[in-house]
Amino acid sequence: MRATGFGSVFLVLAMLGSGPAAADLSAALKMCVNCHGEDGMGTETDTPIIAGIPAVVQEDALYAYADGDRHCGNKPLMCNIVTRLTEDQVTELAAHFAAMPYKPAGEEFDAALAEQGKAIHMENCAICHGENDPGDAEASILHGQKKDYLRYALQQYAAGERAQLPAMESKTGALSGGDIEALLNYYASYGR
C-alpha cells in the first residue's frame, strides 16, 4: 500500500542504524542528489526543483515514473532509479525533499509574455497551483520552477502523454505552444 509519511531520511537512518535498510535509503538519497542536488534545486535546467514540493505530490510523481504514466524523456536514468525504490524509500525521500525550503530558479523572463501567462494561469491553473505564491499551491509548485522542465511537462500534458486529473486535462489540452511559453515566462517572473 502506498502511504504518505513525513519523517526525515536522516531520522530514519539513525533509527535503523547501519543495517541493510539504512544502506538502501542512503543509496537512494545519493542517487537523487546526483541530479536534484543536496538542496533539491537540481543541477540542470531540465531537472525540476523538488525542494519544498509537497511530499504527496512527489510520491505521486515517483510512482507515475515507476508505473510508466510519466515518461523520463532525455532523463532515462530517472525511470531506471524509481523502479528500484521501495514504498518506504519513496515515502522517506519525498518527505526529505518536501521539508526543504522552496527557492525559485531565478531564470530570465520576458515581461510582456509573463503578463499574458499570468492571465492564462489565473483562468486555468490558479485554483490548484496558487494564485501568485508557491505557498498557495495545493498541487505542485509552478511559480519559480525551471522553464525547461516545465516546458517539457506542459508539452506532455497538452499532448495527453502524461497522466493527469480530468479537470487538468481539459485545461492543458487547450494550451497552444504560445500559451505554454507565456506560462513559462509568468512562472519565471516569480519573486523578481
Q: Per residue in 34-54, pLDDT tens? A: 999 999 999 899 999 999 999
Q: What is the Cα 31 distance to its own chain's centre? A: 16
Q: Is the pLDDT of residue 57 over 70?
A: yes
What percentage of residues in the chain have a pLDDT greater than 90? Answer: 54
User: Which of the residue ranges 83-92, 137-146, 177-186 would you say has the lowest mean pLDDT?
Assistant: 137-146
Distances (CA, A) of 95 to 21, 108, 156: 17, 30, 26
CATH 1.20.120.1200 is right for the domain spanning 111-188 = no
Domain with CATH 1.10.760.10 in the chain: 9-98, 111-188
Q: What is the mean pLDDT of residues 89-116?
A: 95
Which of 83, 94, 134, 77 is CA-nearest to residue 12? 94
What's the angle, vertex CA 5, arms to CA 3 and CA 129, rounded to 5?
Answer: 85
Per-residue pLDDT at 136: 65
Task: Please state, in angstroms and rounded to a whole number, the distance separating the CA atoms of residues 34 and 54.
Answer: 21
- With 0-12 CB in 10 A as exposed, 13-18 as middle and 19+ as buried, what is 79? middle
User: Which of the residue ranges 1-10, 40-49, 63-72 would you say has the lowest mean pLDDT?
Assistant: 1-10
Task: Please state, in angstroms and rounded to a whole number, the distance separating the CA atoms of residues 9 and 12.
Answer: 5
* Contact by Cβ (8 Å): 102, 55: no
Q: Is the pLDDT of residue 17 over 50?
A: no
Per-residue pLDDT at 137: 65
* Contact by Cβ (8 Å): 72, 79: yes
User: If you compute the radius of gyration of the chain from its CA atoms, what whole number of angstroms results?
Assistant: 17
Q: Could you read off the pLDDT of 111-162 as tens digits, one per residue?
A: 999 999 999 999 999 888 888 766 666 778 999 999 999 999 999 888 888 8
Cell, residue 17: 542504524
- Within 13 Å of residue 26, how many CA atoms lie on the same side as its CB? 11
Single pTM value for the model: 0.81
Second-level CATH architecture of 9-98:
Orthogonal Bundle (1.10)
Amino acid at 114: A
Q: What is the mean pLDDT of residues 57-70?
A: 91
Cell, residue 126: 490558479
